[in-house]
Amino acid sequence: MANYYQSVRRTRVPHERRLWSVLWTQYAPTAFELDFTGKSWADPPLVGCPHFEPKWNQLDGAVDRRSHHSHYEVRDGFPINPLGRTGLRLRGRLGRWGPNHAADAIVARWKQSEGRAVMECDKPVLQFVAVQRRDCGQWAIPGGMVDAGETTDAAMRREFAEEALAGQSVAEATRVMGGEGREVFRGCVADDPRNTDNAWMETVVKVFVVREEEAAGIALRAGDDAVGVQWCDVSDRLEMYANHKQFIEMTARLLGAYF
C-alpha cells in the first residue's frame, strides 16, 4: 500500500529549482493522468474538448476554481501550481484541473484520567479522531473532496460521517461535532502525493472540541476510504499523511495543548 502513489516516476525537482521564478529551460516533467472518462466528479481533458472552457480563478458554475492560496497563473491553457514544480504535468490522479478542494475535520477532546486532565510539560494533552487511509495505509485527519455545489462545512461533516462513523448519518456527525468549529488552516496541501504542476490539493481544516461526556458516546467505526479509526494523542511523535501532522501542530498551538 505504501507505494500506491509512487508508481509513476516523477522528474526529480531539486529544492532550489522548485519555484517557477527560477529559470529552468530544460525542465521536462513526466506527463501522466488517469483516464477519467465517465467520472462525473472529474473535469474533461484540456486537450481535444473544445466545449470545455473552464473559468480559472472563479466560481465556475458549481465548481470552485478559486484557490485559497493565491490567484494562479494559466500558461498555454494549463493552470500552474502556485507552490511550484512537482516533476509531473497534467492531472495525475486528481480529477480537477487547478485546485482540488477538500475539507478536514479535527474532532478533539481533552485527555482525562480518573476525571482529571492529563498533562505533559505543563500543558494539557489533546486527543483527536484519526483515520487510516485505505489507499496508502497512512493515518490522517478524516476528510475528503468537496463535491461540486457543496459547502466546505457540509463536506467536512459528510466525510467525517463516512470515514469515522460508518453507517451513521451526517446529522449524527453534526451532533458529534457540536458548533461551527474553529478554522486551523486554509490553503494548499503542499505535500499531498497527488499534486502535479497543473492540479493540486487545497483544504480547509477546522477543529471541533467535544466534551468528555459526549466524546465517550461517539461510536467510532471506519468506513468508505478509511480502514481504521481511533482516538490519538496529539504529540510530535505522530506520523501522518501529507501535511496533516502540521495541521495537528497548528491545532495544538491554537488551543494551548501539548505537542
Residue in 144, 164, 208, 222 binding ligand RP5, rule: CB under 6 A: 144
252 phi/psi in degrees, rounded to 5:
-60, -45
β-pair type (78-79, 74-75): antiparallel
Burial profile 5-37: b = 16 or more Cβ within 10 angstroms, e = fewer: eeeeebeebeeeebebeeeeeeeebbebbeebe
Q: For Mg ion, which residue has the nearest CB?
A: 144
Residue 79 binds which entry of ligand RP5, Mg ion, none, CB below 5-8 Å type-dependent: none
> Cell 489507499, residue?
135
- Alpha-carbon distances, residue 111 vs 100, 126, 196, 231 (angstroms): 34, 6, 39, 10
Instruction: Quote the DSSP letter at residue 165.
Output: B
Residue 145 binds which entry of ligand RP5, Mg ion, none, CB below 5-8 Å type-dependent: ligand RP5
User: Interface with ligand RP5 includes 138 (CB under 6 A)?
Assistant: no
Q: Which residues contact 172 (CB under 8 A, 6 or more apart)?
A: 161, 165
Find the distance separating the first CA and the last CA of the chain, reported in whole Å: 29
User: Interface with ligand RP5 includes 189 (CB under 6 A)?
Assistant: yes
Helix ranges (H only) for the chain are: 152-164, 170-177, 212-216, 244-255
- Residue 99: strand pairing partners: 200
Residues between 212 and 241 that touch ligand RP5 (CB under 6 A): 225
Q: Of 27-35, 78-86, 143-151, 231-239, which segment contacts ligand RP5 by CB under 6 A?
A: 143-151
User: Interface with ligand RP5 includes 145 (CB under 6 A)?
Assistant: yes
Which grid coordinates belong to 109?
477532546
Residue in 201, 210, 229, 257 binding ligand RP5, rule: CB under 6 A: 201
For the bound state, the minimum distance from the C-beta of residue 149 to ligand RP5, rounded and expressed in Å, comes to 17
Q: Residues touching Mg ion: how many (CB under 5 A)?
A: 3
Nearer to ligand RP5, 65 or 244 (CB): 244
User: Interface with ligand RP5 includes 209 (CB under 6 A)?
Assistant: no
3 state SS of 105: strand
Residues between 146 and 165 that touch ligand RP5 (CB under 6 A): none
Q: Of 55-63, 72-80, 136-144, 167-175, which segment contacts ligand RP5 by CB under 6 A?
A: 136-144
CB atoms within 10 A of CB 51: 5
Nearer to Mg ion, 224 or 233 (CB): 224
Residue in 225, 232, 240, 246 binding Mg ion, rule: CB under 5 A: 225
User: Interface with Mg ion includes 144 (CB under 5 A)?
Assistant: yes
Residue 201 binds which entry of ligand RP5, Mg ion, none, CB below 5-8 Å type-dependent: ligand RP5
Residues forming the site for ligand RP5 (CB under 6 A): 102, 104, 140-141, 143-145, 189, 192, 201, 203, 225, 242
Residues forming the site for Mg ion (CB under 5 A): 144, 159, 225
